[in-house]
Structure 1
Amino acid sequence: MSKRYTPREMLEKLISFNTVSDRSNLDLITFVETYLAEYGVTSIRVPDETGTKAALHAHIGPSEDGGVVLSAHTDVVPVKGQAWSQDPFASWVSNGKLYGRGSADMKGFAATVLAKVPDFIAADLQRPIHIALSYDEEVGCFGAPPLVRDMLAKGPRPSFAIVGEPTNMKVVTAHKGIAVYKTTITGHPAHSSQLHRGVSAISAAAKLISWLDAQTADNKAKADPDNAFEPPYTTLHSGVIKGGEAHNITAQHCEFITDFRLLPGDSKEAWLEAYRTFIDSQVLPDMQAISGDCGIEVEELAYVPGLSEEADGLAETEARGLTGDNARHVVVYATEGGIFQEHGVSTVVCGPGSIDQAHQADEFIELVELDRCAAFLDRLIGRLS
């Protein structure tokens, strides 16, 4: 029989695995596989194409459709350049707070779920409890789609999902989506004293970024005052740009990265079409009139769908019943919740800790939050038994 962990002990164990997104998470996945197997629980590994990372899913209880999937990601954001007071992968406790990378985002939820496995097994579950652990959430939610597809294909199929991102155990019923694009511009070099003979890729980028900013301003002006999001509109933001070779040469190359933070139901395809239309009609013709070698390419780097509020959604009904939280909560950050919802699984976001601590130096979770999450899972066991 495997060691019986408390949520705190399990969290300390999970934090000890350095699963920054540019590293493998296989040591953590192997630990979880072994831990579950020692309790007689069979898990299924879903590797990525490189074989250096994997997701995992398992279920406890009857092998029939229904029940809940408890979902978490295993990767964490980097610590490089942050002023940590102690080793971020050797957790410590002070004043009722457990510190370490991933403590809040979101190994606290995963740890509490895993610590409760013996209780799941001991219960007379009438509907299954599914456990889902993904990879690469922090860099684009790349691990969740194949994980969800594999879960649903192999069954049993869960009726609803709880994604345990840090919400202080409040029930979040909607969040924005995110689409990330790289725009690559090829200009035509010329001496800057003969500007009329060249095409500056940087100047073209400036026109495109100005257009993107103008769309955000227009969205702001048209925003629904009753919209619960903050800000209550879709935003188009360019956060990285590089280009040019010298001050006296019209830049031949420039590229920049933009993220579209989309209101639920807002179409990334519609925004991309509008962007491409502006490029093709207002920017590219003038560039190619000087040189046919000029061009503009737009590449999608990542897309995470938003989570939409569900009318009489099962996940919301169940989560509100378990928490007693009947207030409306939406968030502007993206989660894997929209991916479950796109695959027909009713979903909410609800987990321990505060998003304010996520990605910060000396990230922490209050131990009382782990207790609250454990009590939530105890009530869930009762609901499914």
Structure 2
Amino acid sequence: MNDHPLTESALRILETLIAFDTSSRYSNLDLIDFIARYLKDHGIESTLTYDETGEKANLYATIGPADIGGLCFSGHTDVVPADGQPWTVPPFALTRKADRVLGRGTADMKGFLAAVLASVPHFIKTARTTPIHLAFSYDEEVGCKGVPGLLAELEKSSAKPRACVIGEPTNMRLAVAHKGKRAYRCCVKGLAGHSALTHLGVNAADFAAELAVFLRKTAQKTRDEGPRDERFVPAYSTIHTGRLTGGIALNVIPDHAELDFEIRNLPDEDVDGIVDMVRAHVVNVLEPDMHNVSVDTSIRFEQLVSYPALNDESATEPAAVWLKKLSWSILDLETEDTLSFGTEGGLFQRIGIPTIVCGPGNIADAHRADEFVEVPQLQRCLHFIQGMATAVQTDLPASM
């Protein structure tokens, strides 16, 4: 339990963070205020960027020189809800059991945030020549919706971070790439009528089901004929229908149906091409059939989620090479991993910040009852964070 001198400090901070129910449907401002006050107590100012309601905020802070780029530690503050899950402990109170601590967000990803915050005194002593940046976002769990506002400000800054570590749960393994995600809701507008006169109506549920079948066949084609990358599980881009609803009664032709689907694409997959193929099927096949009965029918697409894949840049970008080699050294690793789940990493990379993913906990333990992180993982994370913060003072490449 005491393998690292800051273990108890990290656990106390984690206990406080867990007590804030920052499920994505709620505000995260109480947690952000706690972090801002904690940093203020250490003489560090924070910058907040809010959503359109003013009820959620990202936090960004710099420790050390403010006029140059440095190393950024990034994580999200929201968690998934605990409703309806068979928890044996209170989800929003930290529970210690042997070498584990349980609570919503311990693995995903308040454990990492706690380790970063516990390391602030170390950063203050260390960051003399190169700054350490902290970037904490909202609404990652519902599609990385918060961090773009923060990154829009960073992109304009002359002191934009030169490298980033995102602390999603990887068992403290180094991850250099992950899949991207697009998600859409297809709203099908049909024509209602009596079920005895089906020829006079347009059954929205039928056409939503036809679209679901097309998506399944497209998924099979992508699996069998599309690009493959054996580093990922599965080794191809996936297409998945997650929700299909429609109809109000058996004897009524449904005039409305909804279908939600997602694409999780390999970094090198043309995800726009897949989306265009689905839209073309709607425009060229399904809607003309609907219009044979009524032109006042349609299938409308609403984008729900969009974030890019994270590409492995370690063969080309000096800072990415540095991140990879230094992580190997500190963590005593010889290989790196890829992730099938998504993070905010591709968004950082999109504005020119080389990024890796490495954090305490196992993604298999996230989003479920009795979520936990092992204390040795938190200690390993503390060693990693502080090793990176020290090394960045002399080793980080000056250019990309």
State whether TM-score is above 0.5.
Answer: yes
Bin the TM-score by the shorter chain: over 0.9
State the Cα distance separating 1:291 from its structure 2 match. Answer: 0.9
* In the alignment, structure 1 residue 334 sits paired with structure 2 residue 342: yes
Aligned to 1:36: 39
State the Cα distance separating 1:317 from its structure 2 match. Answer: 2.9
Aligned to 2:171: 168
Q: Name the stretch that deviates more: 294-303 or 226-235.
A: 226-235
User: What letter corresponds to residue 275 of structure 1 in structure 2?
Assistant: V
Aligned to 1:57: 60
Identity across the alignment (%): 40
Aligned to 2:296: 293
Give the 5 Å matches for 1:1-385.
Answer: 6-223=9-226, 226-310=229-313, 311-313=315-317, 314-322=319-327, 323-385=331-393
Find runs of 4+ consecutive structure 1 residues off by over 3 angstroms: 223-226
* Mapped partners of 2:368, 2:52: distance in 1: 30
Contact 2:63 2:127 (C-alpha < 8 Å) held by counterparts: no
State the Cα distance separating 1:153 from its structure 2 match. Answer: 2.5
Contact 2:326 2:388 (C-alpha < 8 Å) held by counterparts: no
* Mapped partners of 2:237, 2:229: distance in 1: 15
* Mapped partners of 1:154, 1:23: distance in 2: 30
TM-score by length of 1: 0.96
Note the residue ranges of structure 2 that are not aligned, 5 or more in a row: 1-5, 394-400
State the Cα distance separating 1:200 from its structure 2 match. Answer: 0.7
Contact 1:55 1:147 (C-alpha < 8 Å) held by counterparts: yes
State the Cα distance separating 1:292 from its structure 2 match. Answer: 1.4
* Mapped partners of 1:211, 1:196: distance in 2: 23
Note the residue ranges of structure 1 that are not aligned, 5 or more in a row: none
TM-score by length of 2: 0.92
* Mapped partners of 1:106, 1:160: distance in 2: 20
* Mapped partners of 2:119, 2:201: distance in 1: 65
State the Cα distance separating 1:157 from its structure 2 match. Answer: 1.1
State the Cα distance separating 1:39 from its structure 2 match. Answer: 0.8
User: What letter corresponds to residue 295 of structure 2 in structure 1?
Assistant: G
State the Cα distance separating 1:231 from its structure 2 match. Answer: 1.0
Paired residue secondary structure (2:252): coil
Contact 2:229 2:266 (C-alpha < 8 Å) held by counterparts: no
User: What letter corresponds to residue 66 of structure 2 in structure 1?
Assistant: S
* Mapped partners of 1:266, 1:225: distance in 2: 9
Contact 2:179 2:342 (C-alpha < 8 Å) held by counterparts: yes
* Mapped partners of 1:142, 1:84: distance in 2: 28
User: What letter corresponds to residue 322 of structure 2 in structure 1?
Assistant: T
Paired residue secondary structure (1:6): helix
* Mapped partners of 1:375, 1:368: distance in 2: 11
Paired residue secondary structure (1:312): coil
State the Cα distance separating 1:241 from its structure 2 match. Answer: 1.5
* Mapped partners of 1:190, 1:97: distance in 2: 58
